[in-house]
């Protein structure tokens, strides 16, 4: 059973409202499965979801990293070559002269395994520790 059914809509609440009504929000989450996104100054900062969804996300995240470890073991590319390829890709990007923006995509994830001590590895390390979201 997939507990992240798209049929369930999430509600957006301001942080102040969430603080005032936290008990009610928890009751709705546990009794109806509703999901809440908490915003501070109009920016999403947290989510309140049923524990089943959270546990599913955790499991999927762990499975994903295990799968990436398996892929890393199968790839035959030195960390130096991986760093060089990543640097060339960034240098050739039309946005390389603009302000940098961090995007966690599959290239970053795979690069982490190709270069375990490089920048992608540090980004993923912070993400795994939930420092980055």
Q: Is residue 4 part of a domain?
A: no
- Residue 36 forms beta bridges with which residues? 11, 48
Contact 122, 109 (CB under 8 A): no
Provide the number of structural domains found in the chain.
Answer: 2
CA distance 49 to 38: 11
Same domain, 16 and 71: no
Give residue-wise pLDDT tens across range 3-40: 444 456 789 999 999 999 999 999 999 999 999 999 99
For residues 86 and 114, membership in a common domain is answered with yes
Read off the pLDDT of residues 79-133 as tens digits, 9 standing for 90 and up: 677 667 667 766 665 554 444 445 566 666 677 666 677 777 777 776 666 555 4
Tell me which residue range forms the domain holding 36: 10-49
């Amino acid at each position: 059973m997939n507990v992240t059914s798209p049929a369930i809509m999430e509600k957006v609440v301001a942080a102040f409202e969430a603080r005032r009504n936290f008990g009610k929000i928890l009751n709705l989450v546990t009794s109806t499965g509703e999901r809440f996104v908490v915003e501070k100054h109009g920016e999403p900062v947290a989510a309140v979801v049923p524990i089943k969804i959270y546990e599913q996300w955790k499991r999927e995240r762990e499975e994903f990293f295990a799968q990436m470890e398996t892929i890393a073991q199968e790839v035959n590319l030195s960390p130096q070559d991986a760093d060089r390829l990543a640097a060339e890709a960034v240098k050739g990007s039309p946005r390389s002269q603009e302000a940098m923006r961090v995007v966690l995509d599959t290239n970053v994830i795979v690069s982490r395994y190709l270069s375990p001590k490089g920048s992608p590895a540090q980004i993923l390390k912070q993400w795994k520790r939930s420092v980055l979201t």
